Structure 1
Amino acid sequence: MSWLDLVILGVIVLSALISLIRGFVKESISLLTWIAAGILAFRYFSPMAALLEPYLADPTIRSMAAFAVLFISTLIIGAIINFIMSQLVSKTGLSGTDKALGVVFGGARGVLIVTMIVLLASLTPMPEAQWWQDSAMVGFFQELAKWVKGIIPADAVDSFSF
């Protein structure tokens, strides 16, 4: 087992431990909140920027402000929902189940994080390095990265080395 394998295991275990502490409900609502914040901000920053026109003259600053307002507002609303749902889970006595499911969620998230890092590493000469080749686990994550690459739009895929 190489040092890279230990780092990979560390990322997955750390993600699982964080989710054990936070629980499935908090983790899943947080993830959904971040996704929603990104989608809403990208989708609606132009109409929001138009509303800010009387207050901000520079179109770049106006667009950035609109994006930030939408993104941060969505995160705040998500945090409120997360707090309410977490209180509900603790009051119903499902916290043990919530934490157990959190470990599964966290482990899956750790695998996804490592897969994305391996995918991004394929944009560099890293996969040719000896320490990369010596890893017992990186091959599995390269296969996952190939699968992820298959669902990425074709014009974005040309830069990958595998």
Structure 2
Amino acid sequence: MNNYQNIIHYIQYIIIFIIRVGSGGYIFVQGWEKLTGGFTINGLVPVVIQNEDSPIWFKLFFEHIVAHTTGIFNIIVPLGEVAIGLGLLFGIMSQIASFFGAFVMLNYILSDMIFTYPVQLAFFIILLMNPAILNKISLKSMILYIKEKGEYKHESHPARRR
């Protein structure tokens, strides 16, 4: 029975690892394309404001905040996506990256940009629901494991033991 539980744990680790790396790679590519492709949020502002599917409070946010600070959002959105992607790809602060990934996907859904964002949101939620596994498969955890396994007690040369 114990062997069966170990197999289940390994399968969970593999699934969460694949979701983490896949989600990280996907959002990194999205951010990189925006960063290098001349992304601007200026065209999205009127679309969201006139959209019938977005909530009123979200439209007001776009009208009164985003519309007046598009320069900041033109920088924050791509850099945020790149940072989230790198965090998930390398396993650095994965839980925080997953939280902000979910936040970004919710904003895209509220903007009525459906595409693949619900699937990405579901993956970020799965990551957020598994903090212990995320911690165990993090870069820090892997470095500590390798360091622990690689250490050995080095005895000094007998002539130098005085």
Q: TM-score, normalised by structure 1?
A: 0.30
Q: Which has the bigger relative contact order, CA under 8 A and spacing at least 6?
A: 1
Q: TM-score, normalised by structure 2?
A: 0.30
